[in-house]
Homo-oligomer: A and B are copies of this chain.
Amino acid sequence: MTSFTIFGTGNMGSAIAGIVSAGGSSVQHIGRETDATVSGEVVVLAVPYPALDGILAAYADQFAGKVVVDITNPLDFETFDALVTPADGSAAAELAAALPQSRVVKAFNTTFAATLATKTVGGSAPTTVLVAGDDAEAKALLIDAVIAGGVKAIDAGALKRARELEAIGFLQLTLAVSEKIGWTGGFALLP
């Protein structure tokens, strides 16, 4: 399948690695080091939004020509009441602007780690990874690797749809933090 480099070794990075590994893709993990050689064709930045700048400072050159997957939810984590990105933008749009030589894709920000690991939302509905991006081949690479790992994935449209994906991720986080849903639940997309 595809070769992945996953930045971040938290629960999201681990869950994403588990899925694509199960589908036959290879996975390189990069933690906090700043001098690694990025080997993957697809780079997943499975880190919190505030960590993106540091990764870009160390690795942006190596991301040229690669598919770069942004999974962040750029919340104000002090208030849980707003996004820190401009209202007409998105974290993914910012990343794409910073990486003009890469094909940036938004994905995994609407699926809590537990729903990726168990492949179900709320214990019953199948988990679906929503993927937005402007490059059809880049999206297909990721979607195919996820589906091969046993999790549903769909093309949610152009990269500008990251704004809506980040709105879903934001609302879902507010509902979990206020205990209206659990961290094994959230939004499931059903056909």
Contacts and interface: CB of A to CB of B under 8 A. Distances in A.
Interface SS of A by simple majority: mixed
A180 to B, nearest CB: 5
Interface stretch (A6-14, A21-29, A60-68, A166-174): A166-174
Q: Count this chain's copies in the assembly.
A: 2
Nearest to A168: B168
A146 to B, nearest CB: 15
Contacts of A190: 121-125, 181, 185-188
Given A121-B190, A122-B191, A187-B188, A171 B164 contact: yes
Residue among A88, A156, A168, A191 facing the most chain B CB atoms (10 A cut-off): A191
Given A87-B87, A124-B125, A180 B168 contact: no
A144 interface: no
Contacts of A175: 154, 156, 189
28 contacts: A86-B87, A87-B87, A87-B88, A123-B190, A124-B125, A124-B190, A125-B125, A154-B175, A154-B180, A155-B180, A156-B180, A157-B171, A157-B178, A163-B167, A164-B167, A164-B168, A164-B170, A164-B171, A165-B171, A167-B167, A167-B168, A168-B168, A181-B189, A181-B191, A182-B191, A186-B190, A187-B190, A188-B188
